Amino acid sequence: MKELESIIQLFKDRFEQQAGRVYEAETLDEAVSKLSSILLEQNVKRVAVAGMNEQVRERIKESLASVGMKVIEPRDGNAHEIINSAEAGVTLASFAVADIGAIAEITNDDADRLVSSLPGIHACLLQRQNIIDTFENSAQLIRNALSSSQSCVVSLIGGPSRTGDIELKLVLGVHGPHQVHVIIFG
Amino acid sequence: MGLETYEPLIKQLKNMLGQKERAAALYAAMKRGRDGRARTMQEFADFNEYRHGIRKIKERSIDNLDKLLERFMEEAQKRGAHVYVARDGPDAISYIMNILKQKQARLIIKSKSLTSEEIEFNEPFEKAGYEVYETDLGEWIMQVAREKPFHLVFPAVHKTTPEVAELFSRAYQKAIEGDISAIMKFVRETLRRIFLSADVGVSGANVAIAENGAIVLETNEGNGRLVTSIPKIHIVLMGMEKIVERVEDAIPLIRGHAVSATGQRTTTYVSIIAGRSPLAGDDGREMHIVILDNGRSRMREDSWFREALYCIRCGACMNICAPYSVSGGHVFGYIYPGPIGIPWTANVHGLDKAKFAHLCISCGLCKEICPAEIDIPMMIARVKELDVEKHGQLKVNRILESYESYAPILSSIAPLWNWLMRRGLVRALMEKLTGIDRNRPLPEFKRNTFMKWYRRNADRLRAGGSGKKVALFVDFFANYIEPQLAITLVEALARAGVEVVVPEQKTSGYPYILYGDLKEAEKVARYNVEKLYPYVKDGYDIISIEPTATYSLRESYPKLLNNSEESLAIASKTYEALEYLWMLVQQGKIAVEKTLSGRAGFHIPCHERGLSYGKYAIALLREAGLDVEIRETGMCCGMAGTFGLKKGTLGIELSLAIGEQLFKQFKDNNLDFIVTESSVCKIQLEQGTGLQVFHPLKLLGDALRVA
């Protein structure tokens, strides 16, 4: 238990050092309400939600709708245009890796990847027990994910999109989100 | 014959040496990379071990390339990807062109891919009427400016903010203010529309994993994710050498790449992509993987260049390369810039494009920083050799590569020679005849060499007593120029009861490597190994004073002699003189008296960085009471053996331009003098800083006592 705490702390330290933001919540409910308040604070009106566990998705939709946000579920039509119209994207991380300070998303549909790619703000829920200590120790998990279906993308995300291409000055949010919020729960 | 082939290089270099602002921007980028790397390395238990692991993975992967290629293709095809092995650039381009024709595509978006630059992808597609967009910011700036990357990781580092704003304003006929946020707003908005309407996404692959047919894409801006997800067609253009067997092999490469490039733990985004995912249920989407050979198979069979295939394109080697720091990627590069760019250019673009090999000063630091421990310096020496064979050698290089062999004659006429060398007129004449710059003070020869002294004292030095025995590898400087250093050393050893012998030997021959004469270098290596080996076999340790000589024995000779058993035995028994003395201090056989005072700046010679970073010298000097601080840029001082002695741009001008940053470090501080173990760095530092420079042994002198 103590070990898990230090792994979580390491993830938090490194992810924040990379300009991401981390919050902790006891329960899923608490996490979802934290999510709503983060997005409210950022004045978000339209939110894209990625495909995820049905139960979690319904809770998120409910909570965001109750504070007046429009929830977009890009499951048909012109998915990329629709996601692009959202100010924030919400995902559920499959796992996170502490020593590289990154969350990992396992996706089988690229619409889910776009939810964390196109909007300016990315908020992500992460279950406490799914934080792995080292990148090396996530190898088997990555292999399993890749071999479980015909097509699969494992995306490691270590904070907001960034560049230093002009005069080495750090700028966040080039083509991806300029803010990444991770809410740890459970 | 062929010497005119140096002229464009020299002209370009001269032009670049005049552009101080560009050099300052480049220096800042390189320093950012090095400092970041140094910081993040601390998070590893032992990053050198980690590097070694990466090397083993690459060795294994290149050894098994045929099998891995087959496996990768099979697995990727199982996932529905189309895989094609392209023999060269035109082959890859016509294959991709065909796909795009069939699909009636128009708009191509690219994420950064060096492999696509290698085959100059954009031009033929633009000519054929396609719209092609680079979406990595630095690459896009270069595309709009119609330039090649200045730096591998920061392609547009030489452009200022107002310059970038003006470039885009002109190209898009839109007023963009000269501040970063205005530029970024323009970039995000403009490219976003392009992303959303593109038909084809072209990416590279940082790694490919055979066991599951996946490719790994590392980006920071997030463009790579969009390029590989929105368009109907995803084309991966990857070098054949990128394939590893398992996920476990990919992970250290992903980490090593980011840590070495910028000091990031990984890039912000790492996408491991297997097969083509549908988009919101639409599964009529395609993935094409084009695996490029373009000379790689040939490199794999070439014992000199095989190691180049271990390169993971992190760019760390250019962050530590002193001549690159003042010349930049347009001069020190063709398409692939920097040190590793030399063997790659020679092999994929042709020897004629790799003339910039002659900017390399053989400091060896690219090997020390490389995450795959690639012996880049030796490959560069080989490129120089091939070029010299084809186009001829500069006279000055021919003289300097073998100058050590004139030493016996010059030393026999030392008083006359030294007198001559002090005459301006003689130096002017010599400059004209040989190309050695008249403004470089040359070290004076001693008539009484160390070897003469040794022959008189040999019997006494053989006495020993402690059971320890060493064979001294004297090298050039300690024999002909400052014999007192070697005498101090062997007297201290003798006092501690160490038996000292000096076997028959030649000077190290390292200048042959610098000037690309590997055949001569090998001859010298063979000679010295033959003479030293019997001693090693007989239980002697080998010690040497000059870092370059120690480095030659430890690193260069085994490489030159194909890792022969004898050369490896010698390498494993070779110590730096000061390392050996420190060991004796630790064992209580030598005591160090507090005879020194004052504040010294310590300069680490390049080859010393491949040994022990001067730590033994510093420990001994501190023990003797000296206040010692390392002052460094992390790079070469610019002297680089005899390189800085040469007249002209490809010599003293380049050498002093490189030295500038380091000189500042010594001059800005209140130091009494400088200490360094290298005889040639001494010349450069004295000239550049005006301070006196001493060898640690000269300072230690009588401080070394019997315990």
Two tokens, residue A127: 């279950």
| B135, B180, B276 member nearest A169 (Cβ) | B180
Rounded Cα gap, residues B168 and B185, in angstroms? 12
**Mutation for testing the A interface, residue in B264, B270, B285 having most A CBs under 10 Å:** B270
Q: Is the Cβ pair B184, A165 closer than 8 Å? A: no
Residue B139 counted as domain residue: yes
Residues B378 and B276 in one domain: no
Query: Does B7 reside within a domain?
Result: yes
Instruction: Kindly state the tokens that stand for B505.
Output: 């030997």
Residues of B in contact with A165 (CB under 8 A): 136-138, 141, 154-157
Note the pLDDT tens digit of each residue in B270-327. Answer: 999 999 999 998 888 999 999 999 999 999 999 999 999 999 999 999 999 999 999 9
Classify residue B438: in a domain, yes or no.
no
Blockwise average pLDDT, block size 10, chain A, 186 residues: 87 98 97 97 96 92 95 81 96 98 97 97 97 97 96 98 91 96 97
Read off the pLDDT band of B119 (50, 70, 90): very high
Which of A122, A163, A169, A182 best tests the B interface by mutation, with the highest count of B CBs <10 A? A163
B34 inside domain: no
B659 and B533, same structural domain?
Answer: no
Answer yes or no: do B577 and B551 share one domain.
Answer: yes
Q: What are the domain boundaries of chain A?
A: 2-185
The mean pLDDT value of chain A amounts to 95
* ipTM for the predicted complex: 0.98
Provide the number of structural domains found in chain B. 4
Q: Which pair of tokens denotes residue B183? A: 């530029």
DSSP state of B646: B
Q: Tell me whether strands B704-706 and B673-676 are parallel, antiparallel or unpaired.
A: unpaired
Instruction: Answer whether A161 sits within 8 Å of B269, measured CB to CB.
Output: yes
Token pair for B503: 């076997």
Residues B569 and B645 in one domain: no
Nearest to B229 among A75, A117, A136 (CB): A117
What is the number of alpha carbons within 13 Å of residue A73 lying toward its C-beta?
A: 11
DSSP string, B365-407: HHHHH-TT---HHHHHHHHHHHHHHHH---HHHHHHHTGGGGH
Q: For residue B219, which phi and psi values (nearest 5 degrees)?
A: -140, 165
Confidence of residue B2 (pLDDT cuts 50, 70, 90): low
Cα–Cα–Cα angle for B582, B588, B591, nearest 5°?
A: 70
Is there a contact between B235 and B119 (Cβ–Cβ < 8 Å)?
Answer: no
B194-252 pLDDT, tens digit each: 999 999 999 999 999 999 999 999 999 999 999 999 999 999 999 999 999 999 999 99
Q: In sequence order, what are the residues at sequence separation of 6 or more whose Cβ sits closer than 8 angstroms to the Cβ of residue B641?
A: B361, B362, B510, B511, B514, B548, B680
Interchain pair B230, A136: CB under 8 A: no
Residue of A13, A97, A110, A112 to mutate for B, most B C-beta atoms under 10 A = A110
Pair B153, B302 in one domain = no
Query: In this structure, are B570 and B605 located in the same domain?
Result: no
Q: What is the CATH number of domain A2-185?
A: 3.40.50.10420
- Residues of chain A neighbouring B136 (CB-CB closer than 8 A): 165
Angle between helices B247-261 and B47-63 (to 10 degrees): 130
Cross-chain Cβ contact A136/B212 below 8 Å: no
Which residue among B294, B319, B338 closes a domain?
Answer: B294
Residue where one domain finishes, among candidates B586, B617, B641:
B586
Model pLDDT for residues B512-531, shown as the tens digit of each residue? 999 999 999 999 999 999 99
pLDDT single digits (tens) A13-24: 999 999 999 999
Which residue from A153, A165, A177 is facing B273, i.e. has the nearest CB?
A153
- How many helices and strands (H and E) does chain B possess? 36, 20
Q: pLDDT at position A78, please?
A: 86
How far is A8 from B109, CA to CA, in rounded Å? 38
Residues of B with Cβ-Cβ distance to A19 under 8 angstroms: none
Cα–Cα distances in Å, from A134 out to A3, A15, A101, B159, B312? 13, 14, 9, 38, 22
B580 and B681 inside one domain: no
Determine contact, residues B219/B275, Cβ cutoff 8 Å.
Answer: no
Interface touch A151/B264, C-beta < 8 Å: no
Within-domain flag for B57: yes
Burial of B331 (0-12, 13-18, 19+ CB in 10 A): buried
Task: Tell me what pLDDT residue A94 has.
Answer: 97
Is the residue at B623 inside a domain? yes
Strands (E), B571-646: 574-576, 590-592, 599-603, 627-630
Nearest Cβ partner of B137 from A18, A138, A163? A163
**Cα→Cα distances B402→B252, B312, B383, B644, B690, Å:** 43, 36, 19, 16, 30
Look up residue A172 and give its two tokens: 């966040």
Q: Which residues of chain B have a CB within 8 Å of the CB of A159? A: 268
Let me know whether B465 and B601 are in one domain: no
Chain B residue nearest residue A169, CA to CA: B180
HEC letters along B183-231: HHHHHHHHHHHHHHHCCEEEECCCEEEHHHCEEEEEECCCHHHHHHHCC
Residue A2: predicted pLDDT: 63
E strand residue ranges, B527-672: 541-544, 574-576, 590-592, 599-603, 627-630
* Cβ–Cβ < 8 Å for A182, A15: yes
With contact defined as beta carbons under 8 Å apart, do B225 and B90 qualify? no
Q: What is the pLDDT of residue A1?
A: 54
Q: What are phi and psi of A158, to 5 degrees?
A: -105, 35
Domain coverage including residue B95 = 44-294
Does B661 score more than 80 pLDDT?
yes
Mapped onto helix, strand or coil, the DSSP state of residue B313 is coil
Residues of A in contact with B141 (CB under 8 A): 165-166
- Same domain, residue pair B289 and B301: no
Q: Answer yes or no: is pLDDT of B668 > 80.
A: no
Instruction: For residue B196, list chain A residues with Cβ-Cβ distance below 8 A.
Output: 80-81, 84
Q: Per the CB < 8 Å rule, is B43 touching A110?
A: no
* Residues pairing with B29 in the sheet: none
pLDDT digits (tens, 9 = 90+) for B125-156: 999 999 999 999 999 999 999 998 888 888 99
Instruction: Assess whether B204 and B337 both reside in one domain.
Output: no
Give me the CATH number covering residue B571: 1.20.1050
Q: Find the helix or strand (DSSP H, E) in which B81 lies.
A: none
Chain A neighbors of B188, CB-CB under 8 A = 173-175
CATH of the domain at B241: 3.40.50.10420
**Is residue B182 domain-shared with residue B48, that is, in the same domain?**
yes
CB contact under 8 A, A100 and B255: yes
Domain containing residue B600: CATH number: 3.40.50
Query: For residue B1, what pLDDT band results from cuts at 50, 70 and 90?
Result: very low
Identify the domain boundary among B563, B586, B609: B586
- Do the domain assignments include residue B18? no
Chain B contact set for A177 (CB, 8 A): 222
Contact between A117 and B225 using a beta-carbon 8 Å cutoff = yes
Q: Of all helices (H) and strands (E), which one includes residue B673?
A: strand B673-676
Nearest to B325 by CA among B377, B372, B363, B375: B363
B contacts of A77 (beta carbons < 8 Å): 280
- Residue A23 pairs with which residues in a beta bridge? A183
- Residue from A16, A172, A175, A178 to probe the interface with B (highest B Cβ count within 10 Å): A175
Question: Quick one: B286 and B307 in the same domain?
Answer: no
